[in-house]
Chain A
């Protein structure tokens, strides 16, 4: 089983819909992250959380929200999806040696 699991792996939705991407981890790490990947832009940080009560905005948080339900779970929501949120989304955790561990990604298409 993967250490960092993202669901769903693929999602197609319509403009204006609310959707949630979920992430769970079995690594026991406190730090969790959400990134989006776009061609030519690399990975950009959306939100990050250093523990259940500590949530912070990244460089591109507008249009997104997150929930840290437990140490192991960190969900990303798009309140009202728009086409330019079409991207590949990654959840990651990090340990005390600064290494990041990534999920397999969620490919989201907003029509």
Chain B
């Protein structure tokens, strides 16, 4: 069945370090792919999205590329800040259904 697998956390980095959070998916058809971020005490909010193969989503210095050949959508940022500390969720939108499947979330902690 359809699923999303993302790397377990927590991930602890020093400020200005490079970030990668891995996400792979299994889906029939051509899903849309998303990264959502959850700051402490808040709901999830969209970070970036990609709707077709080879699309690159980007926002606030974060990037992810929709790789159909490897069924992946890894999140990257070249230089993290303390304010990036949050939980990051990879998600896919099932085509034609308006339903979504979320990964288990990866907690990122950035130290000054």
Q: Which residues of B contact A (CB under 8 A)?
A: 32, 34, 36, 41-46, 49, 51, 89, 93, 98-100, 102-105
A residues 32-58 touching B (CB-CB < 8 Å): 35, 40-45, 48, 50
Q: B98 — which chain A residues lie within 8 A by C-beta?
A: 31, 48, 50, 94, 98
Q: A99 — which chain B residues lie within 8 A by C-beta?
A: 34, 46, 49
3 closest A-B pairs (Cβ-Cβ)? A102-B43, A42-B104, A43-B102
Is the pair B41, A102 in contact by a Cβ cutoff of 8 Å?
no
Q: Of A42, A45, A98, A101, which contacts B105 at CB under 8 A?
A: A42
Is the pair A100, B44 in contact by a Cβ cutoff of 8 Å?
yes
In the complex, what distance in Å separates the CA atom of A31 from the CA atom of B32?
17
In the complex, what distance in Å separates the CA atom of A102 from the CA atom of B46?
9
Q: Of B42, B89, B99, which contacts A104 at CB under 8 A?
A: B42
Is the pair B89, A103 in contact by a Cβ cutoff of 8 Å?
no
Kindly list 20 other residue pairs between chains A and B, CB separation below 8 angstroms, not including A41-B104, A98-B49. Answer: A4-B43, A31-B98, A35-B102, A42-B103, A42-B104, A43-B89, A44-B102, A45-B100, A48-B98, A92-B43, A92-B44, A98-B32, A98-B51, A99-B34, A100-B44, A100-B46, A102-B44, A102-B45, A104-B43, A105-B42
